[in-house]
Amino acid sequence: MTGYLIRRVIQTIIVTIIVTIITFVLLHLVPGGEVRAVLGIRASKAEIAADSRLWGFDQPLYVQYWKWLWQLMHGNFGFDIKYSAPVSTLLWNAFPRTLVLAFIGTAVGLLIGVPLGILQAVRRYTAVDHVITGIGFIGYGSPTFFVGLMLVNWFAVDLHIFPAFAPQSTSIIGILSDPVALILPVATYAFVAFALWSRFMRSSVLDNIVQDYVRTARAKGASEKRVLWGHIFRNSLITIVTLLGLQLPVIIGGSIFIEVVFNYPGMGLLFFNSALNTDIQMMLAITVLTTILTILGNLLADIGYAMLDPRVRYS
């Protein structure tokens, strides 16, 4: 177990370093350099040279990278001129909001998708299976923003059942105390996600049905119910947890569409507004932060997993 843990932590560190290098390269892709981006296209050569010296952009790239990384490790993402606040303050305000909505949305998607996937696998190739697959494909094929705006159009504009905006409160408690306003954003998350989970679950259960341990369980006289829930379901869940970890960047990235459609003041909306202002620094800070948190989340999930399932440690 210790060996596995050490290997996994080293891997995580290497991946994080590669991510920071990729991000640093993106920062330096700004046409004309970041000084030009700040000073604008009319800045003279002398001004640019002076500013480059001031901010250290005239130093070799590896020195700049190291300084940037050093600041990053201390949670310093720089000062945002457009919002006139430290980037880290803005991020730490927005991030929990995104997390809350993404968590609720994903949880609802899983709670709908996983049971449906099991139902489909058990009743494979019947009408039930085909109907769920059909609806799932529509969810899977629809761009998130389209689903969101259609739900707004039907349930908020036409029927006036739910508000068109997500909760606007700045505190988590404020957001959670307005559950009616959460329904449409969560429904959007869930509709796009359930298709994915029911598909994964269906094929995972079908893969497990043919395994030896299922035959053994049947052979020793376990009831169908026990075989399905005690054996197949639990082993299929392992696949789902792995996929959930891999899906994290997609879920976080997808939050931008839901937050833009429902004007939810989370990180996705912050990212979108920064994109409109060409605020590269903020965009990169959000990208680095979400990526590192994703990597850490995956590390924790893997460790939890290795404790539960000894096979993982030896593979």
Rg of the chain (C-alpha set): 24
Near another protein by CB under 8 A: residue from 252, 269, 270, 306: 252
Q: Which residue lies nearer to another protein by CB, 54 or 138? A: 138
Q: Under the criterion CB under 8 A, does residue 260 sit at the interface with another protein?
A: yes
Nearest to 184 by CA among 269, 271, 263: 263
Which are the contacts of 103, defined by CB distance < 8 A and separation ≥ 6? none
Among positions 176-215, residues that touch another protein (CB under 8 A) are: 203, 206-207, 209-212, 215
| Binding piece for another protein, criterion CB under 8 A, among 41-49, 58-66, 112-120, 138-146 | 138-146
Distance between the two ends of the chain, CA-based, in angstroms? Answer: 12
Near another protein by CB under 8 A: residue from 6, 22, 61, 300: 22
Q: Which amino acid is at 133?
A: T
| Binding piece for another protein, criterion CB under 8 A, among 73-81, 85-93, 143-151, 228-236 | 143-151
Number of neighbouring beta carbons within 10 Å of residue 222: 15
By rule CB under 8 A, what string of x and - marks binding of each residue 271-300 to another protein? xx--xx-x-x--xx-xx--xx--xx--x--
**C-alpha span between 70 and 62 (Å, rounded):** 12
| Binding piece for another protein, criterion CB under 8 A, among 41-49, 53-61, 133-141, 166-174 | 133-141
Smallest gap from Cβ 98 to another protein, in A, equals: 11
> How do 79-80 and 85-86 pair as beta strands?
antiparallel
| Token pair belonging to 108 | 């609802």
Q: Under the criterion CB under 8 A, does residue 9 sit at the interface with another protein?
A: no
Q: What is the DSSP letter of 28?
A: T
Number of residues that bind another protein (CB under 8 A): 60
Among positions 42-101, residues that touch another protein (CB under 8 A) are: none
Q: Which residue lies nearer to another protein by CB, 81 or 157? A: 157
Among positions 145-174, residues that touch another protein (CB under 8 A) are: 145-146, 149-150, 152-153, 157
| Token pair belonging to 290 | 């979400």
Q: Which residue lies nearer to another protein by CB, 51 or 279? A: 279
Q: Which residue lies nearer to another protein by CB, 148 or 167? A: 148
Nearest to 138 by CA among 95, 51, 199: 199
Write the DSSP string, 63-115.
HHHHHHHHHHHTT---EETTTTEEHHHHHHHHHHHHHHHHHHHHHHHHHHHHH
**C-alpha span between 314 and 306 (Å, rounded):** 9
**C-alpha span between 8 and 33 (Å, rounded):** 37
| Residues in touch with another protein (CB under 8 A) | 11, 14-16, 18-19, 22-23, 26, 29-31, 125, 137-138, 140-146, 149-150, 152-153, 157, 203, 206-207, 209-212, 215, 246, 248-250, 252-254, 256-257, 260, 271-272, 275-276, 278, 280, 283-284, 286-287, 290-291, 294-295, 298
